[in-house]
Structure 1
Amino acid sequence: MLRGPPYPEILEARKEIEKHIIELLDMDFIRNIIHNETVEVTKPILMNFHDGNSRLGGDLRELKNYTKADRCPIPRITHPLDKLENAKHIPRMDFMKSSHQNA
């Protein structure tokens, strides 16, 4: 089961996590859980960037206990990344805080 107590965080990080959660609730990307609803919940992780911004992600390491291997996995990312080897500028994209933001 993925439920459990959150990781210990300092007060500033907790406030930042709450800010991200409220923002995601306002954007309807996440929702509140009903009292007796049976769902799996991941632990939130705050990922800080060098420029001072942060992003909220989820710790999905325990999820592999519930998943099956895909017979047709997505293509490897190494080929497109090799093309970026000599790039001078690479933008950081955040596609509206989608669910791919996992640690």
Structure 2
Amino acid sequence: MTHIQEPKSPWEVVHMDWVTALPPSGDKIDNACLVIVDRYRKTPIFLPCHKDDTAMDTALLLWSRVISHTGLFENIICDRYLKFTSALWTNLHRVLGLSYHYKQHLILKQMD
């Protein structure tokens, strides 16, 4: 497990978790809630979503409701499986129009 340094400013590091098995909300099909907590301020954000949302759905939700206001996070801590977390980062980069080369990132990390 990688140790995450304590953030020096808001929205550098966020914790994400999903509350699922909620009853549908009104006429919408939302049956889950994405909870995002800023590790620096301990500020939570609650976003209605669907329990079957894909990594792209989550990336679009994060962009439209959070990142467009706070800026991009440096670290996302979540207990979803690794494949989802990797797909989330890949899709966030797509949504933002950025290229992300995982292998090059690993090489740079090894040089640190």
Q: Identify the TM-score tier after normalising by the shorter chain.
A: under 0.3
The structure with the largest helix share of the pair is: 2
Structure number with higher relative contact order (C-alpha < 8 Å, ≥ 6 residues apart): 1
Report the TM-score, using the length of structure 1 for normalisation.
0.21
Q: Which has the larger radius of gyration?
A: 1
